[in-house]
Structure 1
Amino acid sequence: MTALPTATGAAPVAGADHGTPAADARRDRVDVHHHYTAPEWIDWAERNGVVRREKLPPWTRWSLDDALALMDGAGVRTSVLTVAMLGRLQEPKARKESAHVALRAAGDLVREHPDRFAFYAPVFLDSPELSLWSIRHGLDELGAVGVSARTSVRGVYLGHPSQDAILAELNERSAVISTHPMEVPGGDADLEGVPPFLCDFLMDTTRAALSLIVNGTLDRYPNLTFILPHGGGFLPYIASRLEVFGHHLSPPVEPARVRDCLHRFYYDTAGPMSPSATPSLLAAVGPERILFGSDWPPTPAALVTGVTAPAFDQDPALDGEQRRRINRDNAHRLLPALAAAATGSV
């Protein structure tokens, strides 16, 4: 098999040029971290005065052609979409209509391209009623493979008891919950000259994971599976620190429970992974809990194909078997509908 080119035109990847399973997986990746702002939703939002198209950030200009070009360039067979909706709608009727438009667009896209796309139905941490509707409409009627949730909303983190109605419903379904930061502490907490996605997003993800641990969410809802973006933020790096100082948490967390909780999460590679970061993640959770993630389009296509994917493919901390698991097998095990779609058995 001809290996995928890197940014410099070089092809070899550790483990992929010796007939290992990783060679196939590099052209059959599953990307669990793909942001989708539906063009249909942009049209609706502009008509209703929610957004002005020309004021939106570049990453909201999603198109099918651009998405497929990115996926083909990065060797991605299937992308799982996080359905994005911008603006700060609070009026319940408008908020539900907004979600309905975005979900319908995602469902239509997957129906037209079942082997290339899947999607998560959004849940809203501050609205159990809207979340329950989105869960039932998205999973039961439109075929979503899981749900997506922010790590926090207005300072309330995922796992807070106020979300129990949402989490209980998802637990009954043994749902996969893909998480992502969006709002981070502002005002005096900002660091001038440093965009929030650089480090604040990672801290928000770490805080959400700790919230799920200290609030007992992982114990009360054992059927839930959470995907942490960006390599889990700082969580793998502070794993030993958390074990040593877990007795300072409220309630206290014993070292053995810390280790168990770390292995209850999945972690995507949209850090991106690197020779400096990968060993910490592998030591904390092992290769069977890691999933490939591009973070496109907020991460530009040139970076995904020229930096993120090649850095993963050439990471010396990974062997061919580990790459295959991360590229494809772990996602197919976690989200069986993706494997069925890839083989045409749905």
Structure 2
Amino acid sequence: MLSGQRRIGKIDVHHHIFPPSEIYDKRGENARVGWRTPAENLPWTPEKSIEFMDTFGIEKAILSYPAGFPPSTGPDATKIVRNANMYASDLCKRHPSRFGFFASLPQPSDPEVLAELDYALDVLKADGIALSSSYGAGSSAKYVADETYDSLWQALDDRRATVFLHGCMTPSSTPYPHETLGLPVCEVPNETFKAAAHLVVTGKKRRYSNVTIILAHLGGCTPFLAPRVAVLSNHMGCQLSPEEIINDFKTFYYETALSAHESTLEMVMRSVGPERVLLGTDFPAVSERMINWYNEQLIEFLTPDEAVAAAVLRDNALRLLAQST
């Protein structure tokens, strides 16, 4: 099941750091969002990730902190981000062949955000930047393409940066529909889609076209809803034609964490092609058993074409990482 692909040396672009509590305390069951992090993955250590990677034939994992990090604003949050990125960078220095990382930033409206961007890319040598779908809470929340954040997008564009975009655990009108449908199950993929759609219909995706954007979890429901956005948003005043909107959705990259199934893979492959699909696992937020279920679906889907399998499991990520150096 796994051995046939192990030789490829996979690259996992969706692999989280659950850092020491002195940096950021986020571990264990979180009843607020309706999710139980697998007990065997806590407390997380880099050694646990390496053991998991060896089991699944993953040569390298690109680490990132969970979406919504840090949960606050101001000088304390900026300090938390700096310390967290330094911790991630140190992990990469200690395990250079096994880890890279997408750096976190203060909230995009923070006056220090551009300085932290420069520090992360120039000093810490991050492979890219992790952004959340939105920032702020309640009625003050703004999606990532809000004009308030244009200076950050311009800086990312100038640097031809790679961005890993992950949906926030933002509750909708009800906290979540059922005890088995917590925010990570339902709202995270919805928020990923809304952020992607916001980037497209505002014209930011094409304005900042030098930024490579990876959508977490195959973009959530993005491949399915992109045609709906194309026609209805145009009707509501989006200046882009339906065809332009569809084409802009095709310029994202999509990674497979918790999303690989014949139905979803067929849709995204037809939408963007295998050259824009990447491997992701979401370890340690989920168990090896859950990851293996999706891995089985992915390997079965990819097995008929060795070139496509190599592209999705390794080569596409290698190309993006080479661009970031």
Question: Is TM (by shorter chain) over 0.5?
Answer: yes
- Between 105-114 and 314-323, the greater mean CA deviation after superposition: 314-323
Residue 72 of structure 1 and its aligned partner are, at CA, apart by 0.8
Q: How does 1:1-346 map to 2 (within 5 A)?
A: 4-5=2-3, 24-25=7-8, 28-39=9-20, 42-45=21-24, 51=25, 58=37, 61-84=43-66, 88-90=71-73, 92-153=74-135, 154=137, 155-188=141-174, 190-193=176-179, 194-304=181-291, 306-315=292-301, 319-336=305-322
Deviations 1:190-243 (A, max 9, x none): 324321111211111111011001111112212111110111111111233334
Structure 1: runs of 5 or more not aligned: 6-15, 17-21, 46-50, 341-346
CA contact (8 A) 1:122 1:131 kept: no
CA contact (8 A) 1:128 1:165 kept: no
Which residue identity lines up with residue 221 of structure 1 in the other structure? Y
2: CA distance between counterparts of 1:53 and 1:330?
A: 32
User: Which stretches of structure 1, 4 residues or longer, exceed 6 Å deviation after superposition?
Assistant: 52-57
In structure 2, the CA distance between the partners of 1:106 and 1:337, relative to structure 1 (3 Å rule), is: farther
- Between 318-327 and 276-285, the greater mean CA deviation after superposition: 318-327
In structure 2, the CA distance between the partners of 1:212 and 1:60, relative to structure 1 (3 Å rule), is: farther
Residue 337 of structure 1 and its aligned partner are, at CA, apart by 6.8
Residue 177 of structure 1 and its aligned partner are, at CA, apart by 0.5
1: CA distance between counterparts of 2:158 and 2:105?
A: 15
2: CA distance between counterparts of 1:310 and 1:23?
A: 13
In structure 2, the CA distance between the partners of 1:52 and 1:66, relative to structure 1 (3 Å rule), is: closer
In structure 2, the CA distance between the partners of 1:214 and 1:62, relative to structure 1 (3 Å rule), is: same
Residue 131 of structure 1 and its aligned partner are, at CA, apart by 2.1
Q: Which has the larger radius of gyration?
A: 1
In structure 2, the CA distance between the partners of 1:328 and 1:180, relative to structure 1 (3 Å rule), is: same
1: CA distance between counterparts of 2:26 and 2:308?
A: 44
Residue 250 of structure 1 and its aligned partner are, at CA, apart by 3.1
Does the residue aligned with 2:12 lie in a helix, a strand or coil?
Answer: strand
Matched residue pairs, number? 311
Does the residue aligned with 1:129 lie in a helix, a strand or coil?
Answer: coil
How big is the alpha-carbon RMSD for the aligned residues of Structure 1 and Structure 2? 2.5
- Between 178-187 and 230-239, the greater mean CA deviation after superposition: 178-187
Does the residue aligned with 1:77 lie in a helix, a strand or coil?
Answer: strand
CA contact (8 A) 1:161 1:215 kept: no
CA contact (8 A) 1:179 1:229 kept: yes
1: CA distance between counterparts of 2:100 and 2:18?
A: 14
Which residue identity lines up with residue 160 of structure 1 in the other structure? D
TM-score (norm 2): 0.87
Give the % identical residues: 27
Which residue identity lines up with residue 43 of structure 1 in the other structure? E
**Corresponding position of 1:343:** none
Does the residue aligned with 1:276 lie in a helix, a strand or coil?
Answer: helix
Which residue identity lines up with residue 157 of structure 1 in the other structure? Y
Residue 121 of structure 1 and its aligned partner are, at CA, apart by 1.1
Does the residue aligned with 1:30 lie in a helix, a strand or coil?
Answer: strand
CA contact (8 A) 1:175 1:225 kept: yes
2: CA distance between counterparts of 1:232 and 1:216?
A: 18
TM-score (norm 1): 0.82
Which residue identity lines up with residue 62 of structure 1 in the other structure? W
CA contact (8 A) 1:33 1:270 kept: yes
In structure 2, the CA distance between the partners of 1:30 and 1:53, relative to structure 1 (3 Å rule), is: closer
